[in-house]
Amino acid sequence: MQRFKAYVEANRERFIEELSDLCRQPSISTQNVGIAEMAELVKAHFERLGAQVQVLQTGGPPAIFAETGQGERTLLCYNHYDVQPPDPLEEWHSPPFEPIIREGKLYARGVADNKGDLMARIQAVEAYLAVFGELPLRLRFFVEGEEETGSPHLAALAEQYADLLRADGCLWETGGKDEGERPTFHLGLKGDQYLELRCRGARSDLHSANAGLVPNPAWRLVWALSTMKDMQDRITIDGYREHVRPPTDEELAALERIPFADQAMRQAWGIDRFINGVEGTEALRVFLYEPTCTISGFRSGYIEEGSKTVLPSTAMVKLDLRLVPDLTPELALRLVREHLDRRGFQDIEVVSLGSLPAARSPLDAEIVEAAKAAAVAVYGHEPVIYPTHGGSGPMYYICQGLGTPGVMTGVGYPGINIHAPNENIRLSDYFEGILFVGELLRRFGGEEGI
C-alpha cells in the first residue's frame, strides 16, 4: 500500500491537472456540445495506459471500450463522459468549464458527475501498473456519452457487445461518502417508466360558460389520476402490486445496519412528517423497496397570473413511475393502459417518454466482499451498504442483464451539487478514491491488500 500511495502522492499535481483538462472540455449530450472531442480525450487516456481501445458507434454519442490486464476474473468499470448543461450560469461562482480549486475543492461542471470517478479509476490503473508491473485481473472500461439523456442506445449496445461487456463484477459510477463521512455502496437502482397522459376535448379552447355541456380534458385527467392512488398514497393501478417482488429477509435485515437520518432529511426539506408518518427503518424500506407513482407536472388551460374564463381543449400530465424488480417498464405501461380502459378512459392517450428496468445485486456477491475489504483498508472502517437506491439509472443493461453483480461508489460527498451550479469534489476524497480503486483491483484479483 505504501508504494502505491507514494506513487499517487508523487503525481498529485499532474493527476489534478489531468482531471482539470477533462473538465475544461464541455461535453453536453443534451445539446451535442463537445461530445466528439471528449470521446477522443477519453480514448487517448486509455491508449496511454496501453489498453486495447474500441470506439463503439451507437447511433448517438460514441461509447469507448478499453481492456487491459490478464487474470481469472474480469472487472468492468462503467462511467460516462457526458455532463448536464451548466445553466443557470449566473449562479456559478466561477465559469463552469474553467476548473478552479477553492478551499480544497475542485469546481467544474462534470467533476463529480462523472469525470472525477472516471479519472480516479484511470489514474489508479496507471499507478498500479507503475508500481506492480501488471494487473491481477482482466480490467474492462465502458464509458458512454449519453447517460445524461437517458442512455437511449445502451440496451441495444449491451446486447450487441454482450461478450465484451460481461464480467465477474462491475464498479458502477457515482456515490461516495455520506453526512457522517462514511463510504457508501449501493448495490442496485430502481427502474423507471416515465410517461405522459394526454387528453383532448373540443377542437379549441372555449369560453368557460360552455362547461356544463363540453367535456373538460383537465377534469378527465383528474378523475383518471384519482383512480391510480388513494388518500393513503397507496398505488391502486390494477395488478400493480401483484408484480412487486418483496425484499428478502437478508435485504430487510440490511436496513438495520444503515444510519438513516430521516429527521435531518425532514428538517432540510421543511416538512413535519413523511407520508403516513413513517420513520426510521420503515421509511428506509419504503424509499428503497417500494414502487412509486408521482405526478411530475400538469398542464392545461390558463395558468398565468390573474383570471381567464376558459374551458381548455387539452390537458397533459407527466407521471414518473419508479419500479422495483419484477415490475418491468413494459409491464407498468401495459397495466396503466388497461387500468384506464377498464374505467372508460379510452380517450386518454398514454405515451412513454423513457424507461429503465430495475437492477439489484446480491449482498454477498464477490465484488461486494472485495469492495468492502478495500474500503476498510483505505477508509479505516466498513462502508454503509444500501441494497439498492431510490433513484434510477441504466445499470440493468450492463449488470443484471448480463449476469454481472455491481457496486456503486465514487469520489463524491453530500455537497457535490450534482446537476447544479458550483458542482465540485473534495480533492481529499478524490485521492482516497484512487487508493480505493487500487485496493479493489488487487483484492478482486485474488491478492492481499497493497
Last residue of a domain, one of 356, 385, 411: 356
Based on the domain organization, do 173 and 198 belong to the same domain? no
Based on the domain organization, do 26 and 166 belong to the same domain? yes
What pLDDT is stored for residue 29 in this prediction?
96
pLDDT band at 446 (very low <50, low <70, confident <90, very high): confident
Q: Is residue 283 part of a domain?
A: no
What pLDDT is stored for residue 449 in this prediction?
55
Handedness of CA 436, 438, 441, 443 (dihedral sign): negative
What pLDDT is stored for residue 56 in this prediction?
97
What pLDDT is stored for residue 448 in this prediction?
65
Based on the domain organization, do 417 and 369 belong to the same domain? yes
pLDDT band at 450 (very low <50, low <70, confident <90, very high): low
Average pLDDT over residues 395-406: 97
What pLDDT is stored for residue 24 in this prediction?
98
Average pLDDT over residues 352-375: 96
What would the pLDDT profile of 281-293 be if each residue is shown by its tens digit?
Answer: 999 999 999 999 9
Average pLDDT over residues 337-347: 98
- Using DSSP's 3-state secondary structure scheme, residue 271 falls into coil
Based on the domain organization, do 21 and 100 belong to the same domain? yes
Based on the domain organization, do 341 and 387 belong to the same domain? no
Q: Is residue 262 part of a domain?
A: no
Residue 75: CATH number of its domain: 3.40.630.10
Based on the domain organization, do 21 and 45 belong to the same domain? yes
Nearby residues of 366 by Cβ (< 8 Å), 6 or more positions away: 168, 169, 405, 444
Based on the domain organization, do 195 and 92 belong to the same domain? no
- Provide the b/e sequence for 309-338 (b: ≥16 CB within 10 Å): eebbbbbbbbbbbbbbbebbbeebbebbbe
Measured distance CA(270)–CA(274) in Å, rounded: 11
The chain-wide mean pLDDT, for the chain, equals 96
Based on the domain organization, do 168 and 200 belong to the same domain? no
pLDDT band at 1 (very low <50, low <70, confident <90, very high): confident
Tally of structural domains, the chain:
2
Q: Is residue 277 part of a domain?
A: no
Based on the domain organization, do 144 and 27 belong to the same domain? yes
Please say if the pLDDT value at position 367 is more than 70: yes
Q: Which amino acid is at 55?
A: V
Regarding pTM above 0.75, the answer is yes
- Using DSSP's 3-state secondary structure scheme, residue 242 falls into helix
Measured distance CA(442)–CA(409) in Å, rounded: 17
Last residue of a domain, one of 328, 356, 384: 356
Average pLDDT over residues 56-76: 96
> In this structure, are residues 340 and 223 in contact, taking their beta carbons and an 8 Å threshold?
no
Q: Is residue 146 part of a domain?
A: yes
Please say if the pLDDT value at position 148 is more than 70: yes
Q: Is residue 285 part of a domain?
A: no
What pLDDT is stored for residue 268 in this prediction?
87
pLDDT band at 87 (very low <50, low <70, confident <90, very high): very high
Please say if the pLDDT value at position 405 is more than 90: yes
CA end-to-end span of the chain: 4
Based on the domain organization, do 195 and 139 belong to the same domain? no
* CA dist list (Å): 282 to 229, 274, 279: 20, 11, 6
Average pLDDT over residues 48-73: 96
Residue 329: CATH number of its domain: 3.30.70.360
Q: Is residue 450 part of a domain?
A: no
Q: Is residue 231 part of a domain?
A: yes
Last residue of a domain, one of 334, 356, 378: 356
What pLDDT is stored for residue 433 in this prediction?
98
Instruction: Residue 386: give the domain boundaries.
Output: 2-189+358-444
Based on the domain organization, do 6 and 126 belong to the same domain? yes
- Segments of 328-446 assigned E as strands: 349-356, 359-360, 384-386, 406-408, 424-426
Q: Is residue 298 part of a domain?
A: yes
Based on the domain organization, do 74 and 215 belong to the same domain? no
Nearest CA-CA partner of 405 in 450, 432, 444: 444
Measured distance CA(232)–CA(236) in Å, rounded: 10
